[in-house]
Amino acid sequence: MVLNGKRILLIISGGIAAYKSLDLIRRLRERGAEVRPIMTKAAQEFITPLAVGALSSGHVYADLFSREDEQDVGHIRLARDCDLVLVAPATANLMAKIANGLADDLASTVLLATDRPVLLAPAMNPKMWAAAPTRRNVETLKGDGITLIGPMAGEMAESNEAGVGRMAEPLQIVDAVIGMLDDGAKPLKGRTAIVTSGPTHEPIDPVRYIANRSSGKQGHAIAAALARLGADVTLISGPVTIPDPAGVTTVHVERAEEMLEAVTRHLPADIAVMVAAVADWRVAASSGQKIKKQPGEAPAPLALTENPDILKTVGHHQKRPKLVVGFAAETENVEANGRAKLARKGADMIVANDVSPESGVMGGNRNRVKIISAEGIDEWPDLAKDDVAERLAALIAQRLD
Ligand code: CTP
């Protein structure tokens, strides 16, 4: 059975969809999973602990301050003694608590304390799902590495309203659980990856620097996508304003030379994806003091010197990763320049994109890329950067297989 030996901590919060959680317990157990239930106080207004206990054939946890439960298992062990924490239904209230780190009952405390993957199946009125605070909380939860399934569109159980808010069906939730726990869905398990992302800042003096328009969005999304496929990912990021991705070890650097040092320090690795827009030049002799303007005099010329090429170094390194992927940021002749970079840098694959101002790629959320390798060129459609990342991670897994 596909979920044999897997332990699911099922948190049931208080919504009418809780009646579906009874079926969910059965479906999970049918596939071999062990289900340990926690109910919030509100959940007990909709279904009884007796029913939940009978179906899961075990103890139902409900009280943070239960002396017996605390002596027996304890909330910290409860949070970690499982392979996955599933919240179904997840109410708007519980989601708000998780997004803000509140811990005022057993369910929210366990969710704050857990280091296991968390899957939420939201269920609420469509207006509550669409409300601005819920939108913000959903973004925060996703940013924290929490997975959501649903809600789905359809009729609401409690009213004549229709819209997005229905809890996903038990079998859909079971599929999502399998997707998260099945090692077959983690083709990069046991592999290590280094990803560079963002720009570099090259100091002119203590207050000024040379930079470029890279936001880090594409590189960070690739790091997160590789991690979702099971890779152990180190992200070496230049200065960016976006958060560190969940499930990834992030190293922050400023200059190209620091980035190169961090990358080589993390070799060997199975995969290298060099997405950073590394500054090609740095100031030859950056000043230790702020450069002052001299009234009436022309500014001192800025002498530049070439930065190390990180991708080229990795592509020709004695500890060269099995798969080296580079990017090519071009404003013209995308294909020809991409092919030339493939050879020059010793890469297995170049992801070429048009970064001319009209494309809106630099700093934007979408990207249109061409994948260039010895096998030829594959043109991908215009996609969200997250989707480019997803597809690239899958392609990397396939190449390594
Ligand atoms: N790259 C790098 N180190 C550098 C410059 C670039 O690792 N000093 C990497 C980038 O991360 C990217 C690839 O090389 O994966 C191509 O970067 P790009 O800026 O497109 O090319 P350049 O090497 O700078 O070449 P050109 O200036 O001719 O476009």
Catalytic one of 212, 307, 353, 367: 212
CA of 330 to the centre of ligand 1 (A): 10
Q: Are 215 and 240 within 8 A, CB to CB?
A: yes
Confidence label for 1 from pLDDT (cuts 50, 70 and 90): confident
Confidence label for 246 from pLDDT (cuts 50, 70 and 90): confident
Residue 6, pLDDT > 90, answer yes
Q: Which of 280, 344, 353 has most ligand 1 atoms within 8 Å of CB, for mutation?
A: 280
Instruction: Specify the pLDDT at position 161.
Output: 76
**Nearest atom in ligand 1 to 196's CA:** 11
Q: Quickly tell me which residue has 């060099």 as its tokens.
A: 274
The set of protein residues with a Cβ atom below 6 angstroms from ligand 1 is 196, 256, 274-276, 278, 280, 307, 309-311, 326-329, 341, 345
CA of 231 to the centre of ligand 1 (A): 25
Q: Are 75 and 106 within 8 A, CB to CB?
A: yes
CA of 197 to the centre of ligand 1 (A): 12
Q: Which of 255, 271, 274, 332 has most ligand 1 atoms within 8 Å of CB, for mutation?
A: 274
Digit-coded pLDDT (tens) for 180-237: 987 777 899 999 999 999 999 999 999 999 999 999 999 999 999 999 899 999 999 9
Three-class secondary structure assignment of the chain: CCCCCCEEEEEECCCCCHHHHHHHHHHHHHCCCEEEEEECCCHHHHCCHHHHHHHHCCCCECCCCCHHHHHHCCHHHHHHCCCEEEEEEECHHHHHHHHHCCCCCHHHHHHHHCCCCEEEEECCCHHHHHCHHHHHHHHHHHHCCCEECCCEEEECCCCCCEEEEECCCHHHHHHHHHHHHCHHHCCCCCCEEEEEECECCEEEECCEEECCCCCCHHHHHHHHHHHHCCCEEEEEECCCCCCCCCCCEEEECCCHHHHHHHHHHCCCCCEEEECCECCCEEECCCCCCCCCCCCCCCCCCCCEEECCCHHHHHHCCCCCCCEEEEEEEECCCHHHHHHHHHHHHCCCEEEEEECCHHHCCCCCCEECEEEEECCEEEECCCEEHHHHHHHHHHHHHHHHC
**Nearest atom in ligand 1 to 308's CA:** 8
Residue nearest to atom 8 of ligand 1 (CA): 309
Residue nearest to atom 14 of ligand 1 (CA): 311
Instruction: Specify the pLDDT at position 9.
Output: 97
Instruction: Specify the pLDDT at position 162.
Output: 79
Confidence label for 179 from pLDDT (cuts 50, 70 and 90): confident
Residue nearest to atom 4 of ligand 1 (CA): 309
Instruction: Specify the pLDDT at position 220.
Output: 96
CA of 229 to the centre of ligand 1 (A): 27
Say if pTM beats, i.e. exceeds, 0.85: no
**Nearest atom in ligand 1 to 329's CA:** 20
**Nearest atom in ligand 1 to 345's CA:** 14
Residue nearest to atom 21 of ligand 1 (CA): 328
Identify which of 166, 193, 203, 153 has the alpha carbon closest to the alpha carbon of residue 305. Answer: 203
Digit-coded pLDDT (tens) for 355-396: 888 888 888 889 999 999 999 999 999 998 989 999 999 999
Digit-coded pLDDT (tens) for 83-128: 999 999 999 999 999 999 999 999 999 999 999 999 999 999 999 9
Confidence label for 251 from pLDDT (cuts 50, 70 and 90): very high
Domains of the chain: 7-180 (3.40.50.1950), 192-400 (3.40.50.10300)
Q: Which of 278, 312, 325 has most ligand 1 atoms within 8 Å of CB, for mutation?
A: 278
- Range from 65-69, 236-240, 360-364 that averages highest in pLDDT: 236-240
Confidence label for 72 from pLDDT (cuts 50, 70 and 90): low
Cross-strand partners of 372: 350, 377
Integer Cα distance of 45 and 42 in angstroms? 5
Residue nearest to atom 16 of ligand 1 (CA): 328
Instruction: Specify the pLDDT at position 94.
Output: 98
Instruction: Specify the pLDDT at position 307.
Output: 98
Instruction: Specify the pLDDT at position 135.
Output: 96
CA of 328 to the centre of ligand 1 (A): 7
Under 8 Å CB-to-CB from 184, ≥6 apart: which residues? none
Active site residue 212: yes
> How many other C-beta atoms can be found within 10 angstroms of the C-beta atom of residue 268?
12
Instruction: Output 258 or 387, whichever has higher pLDDT.
Output: 258
CA of 223 to the centre of ligand 1 (A): 18
Instruction: Output 66 or 168, whichever has higher pLDDT.
Output: 168
Under 8 Å CB-to-CB from 107, ≥6 apart: which residues? 11, 13, 38, 39, 40, 87, 94
Cis, peptide link before residue 187, omega less than 30° from 0: no
Integer Cα distance of 292 and 62 in angstroms? 67
Instruction: Specify the pLDDT at position 102.
Output: 97
**Least-confidence region, from 8-17, 235-244, 294-303:** 294-303
Digit-coded pLDDT (tens) for 337-350: 999 999 999 999 99
* CA distances for 112 relative to 133, 144, 350, angstroms: 20, 11, 41
Integer Cα distance of 372 and 328 in angstroms? 10
CA of 230 to the centre of ligand 1 (A): 28
* CA distances for 166 relative to 98, 153, 171, 269, angstroms: 20, 6, 14, 44
Q: Are 228 and 393 within 8 A, CB to CB?
A: yes
**Nearest atom in ligand 1 to 328's CA:** 20
Three-class secondary structure assignment of 143-176: HCCCEECCCEEEECCCCCCEEEEECCCHHHHHHH
Instruction: Specify the pLDDT at position 158.
Output: 66
Digit-coded pLDDT (tens) for 285-335: 999 999 998 899 888 889 999 999 999 999 999 999 999 999 998 888 888
Residue 37, pLDDT > 90, answer yes
Instruction: Specify the pLDDT at position 259.
Output: 98
Residue nearest to atom 9 of ligand 1 (CA): 311
Instruction: Specify the pLDDT at position 32.
Output: 94
**Nearest atom in ligand 1 to 327's CA:** 15
* CA distances for 163 relative to 92, 133, 141, 160, angstroms: 16, 18, 22, 10
